[in-house]
């Protein structure tokens, strides 16, 4: 692999400008943006000015594969799987923002392409796996999770608050954009297969606001309970692992990990505390996930990373949850293509 890693930045909207490019610019791995791609040339020019890339393009058809090693893709779901497929076929490593495709069938097709191009790296942007507090919670509960346990995850965000991406309901838009993060975390913490999905949507006074509780029943007897929705005043992510001996390990926010109850330690013992001003690098996980992507592209040195199989599994859980949360007359959950 050439050094520095030559990057194409594909999709120059809010996600690229606010959440990806700022952390990419702080990354320690040797890289250089070489082209910014967006059908809106003004957006592409804006990111070109911010990134220092020498060129812009309005389509990936204009890319010279010999001059690009890897791509960061932040586009809506409809074109993302097709773009990722085209990049993989050209031998270009690909980081694609979740959900990586508009439907479960599209992700299944992308997984088949990834199998045929296994020498090219494909990573999906599930940044919360890299958030420091959640990584610490994952690490300190390794032995606990070897036995059946109870996992609680809260994922609340006010947006989206209207249908988008070609679907008919806000609930489906939200579940596919944000709920998939909660499903991914549940499967990361508990790798036992999910045998059943239950869901209950709480009534709200506003048609485009909702809260839901989703239960995942795992084959080993574990249970994951997810509280999700956009009926909230602020963004919030938390997780807790309840062990069979009564111990409770929790990350009440993205700032800390606390042992709530255990026979050998006082209640409320803090096991990890995030520095309050890290500019989001460790707290959000965006920085570490991009570092991991570039490390794998350059020298295959990154440990286990979220890939297309994880995105496919998350999409299948989205389908099952939506069938529980949304009356069949309101939406069709099999595809948003």
Q: Are 334 and 104 in contact (CB under 8 A)?
A: yes
pLDDT at 331 over 50: no
Higher local confidence (pLDDT), 319 or 298 = 319
> pLDDT digits over 277-297, tens only?
456 777 899 999 999 999 999
Q: What is the pLDDT of residue 218?
A: 98
Q: Are 250 and 99 in contact (CB under 8 A)?
A: no
Rounded to 5°, angle at Cα 241 from 235 and 242: 130
> pLDDT digits over 81-137, tens only?
999 999 999 999 999 999 999 999 999 999 999 999 989 999 999 999 999 999 999
Asked whether the CA dihedral 133, 236, 72, 99 is positive or negative, the reply is positive
Q: What is the pLDDT of residue 299?
A: 82
pLDDT at 272 over 90: no
pLDDT at 330 over 60: no
**C-alpha–C-alpha distance, residues 38 and 204, integer Å:** 38
Quote the CATH superfamily of domain 5-128+287-305: NAD(P)-binding Rossmann-like Domain (3.40.50.720)
Q: Are 279 and 286 in contact (CB under 8 A)?
A: no
SS3 88: helix
Which residues lie closer than 8 Å to 6 by C-beta, 6 or more apart?
31, 32, 34, 67, 68, 69, 70
User: Given pLDDT bands bounded at 50, 70 and 90, which one contains residue 336?
Assistant: very low
pLDDT at 42 over 50: yes
Which residues lie closer than 8 Å to 28 by C-beta, 6 or more apart?
291
**C-alpha–C-alpha distance, residues 43 and 21, integer Å:** 13
Domain ranges of the chain: 5-128+287-305, 129-275+313-325
Q: What is the pLDDT of residue 156?
A: 97
Class of domain 129-275+313-325: alpha beta
> pLDDT digits over 2-25, tens only?
579 999 999 999 999 999 999 999
User: Given pLDDT bands bounded at 50, 70 and 90, which one contains residue 327?
Assistant: low
**C-alpha–C-alpha distance, residues 39 and 29, integer Å:** 29
């Amino acid at each position: 692999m050439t050094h520095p890693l030559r990057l194409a930045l594909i999709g120059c909207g809010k996600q690229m400008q606010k959440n990806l490019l700022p952390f990419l610019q702080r990354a320690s791995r040797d890289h250089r943006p070489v082209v910014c791609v967006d059908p809106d040339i003004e957006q592409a020019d804006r990111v070109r000015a911010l990134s220092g890339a020498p060129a812009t393009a309005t389509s990936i058809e204009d890319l010279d594969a010999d001059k690009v090693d890897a791509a960061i893709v932040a586009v809506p779901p409809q074109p993302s799987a097709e773009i990722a497929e085209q990049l993989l076929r050209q031998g270009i490593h690909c980081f694609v923002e979740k959900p990586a495709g508009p439907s479960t069938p599209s992700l299944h097709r992308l997984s088949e392409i990834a199998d045929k191009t296994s020498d090219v790296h494909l990573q999906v942007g599930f940044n919360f796996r890299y958030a420091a507090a959640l990584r610490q919670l994952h690490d300190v509960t390794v032995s606990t999770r070897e036995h059946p346990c109870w996992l609680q995850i809260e994922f609340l965000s006010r947006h989206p608050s209207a249908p988008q991406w070609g679907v008919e309901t806000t609930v489906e838009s939200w579940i596919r954009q944000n709920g998939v993060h909660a499903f991914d975390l549940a499967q990361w913490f508990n790798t036992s297969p999910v045998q059943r999905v239950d869901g209950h949507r709480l009534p709200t006074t506003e048609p485009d606001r909702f809260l839901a509780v989703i239960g995942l029943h795992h084959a080993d007897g574990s249970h994951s309970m997810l509280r999700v929705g956009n009926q909230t005043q602020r963004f919030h992510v938390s997780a807790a692992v309840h062990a069979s001996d009564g111990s409770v390990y929790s990350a009440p926010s993205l700032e800390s990990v606390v042992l709530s109850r255990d026979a050998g330690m006082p209640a409320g013992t803090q096991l990890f505390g995030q520095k309050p001003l890290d500019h989001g690098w460790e707290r959000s996980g965006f920085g570490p996930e991009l570092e991991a992507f570039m490390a794998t592209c350059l020298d295959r040195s990154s440990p286990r990373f979220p890939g297309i199989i994880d995105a496919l599994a998350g999409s299948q859980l989205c389908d099952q949850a939506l069938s529980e949360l949304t009356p069949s007359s309101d939406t069709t959950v099999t595809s948003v293509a």
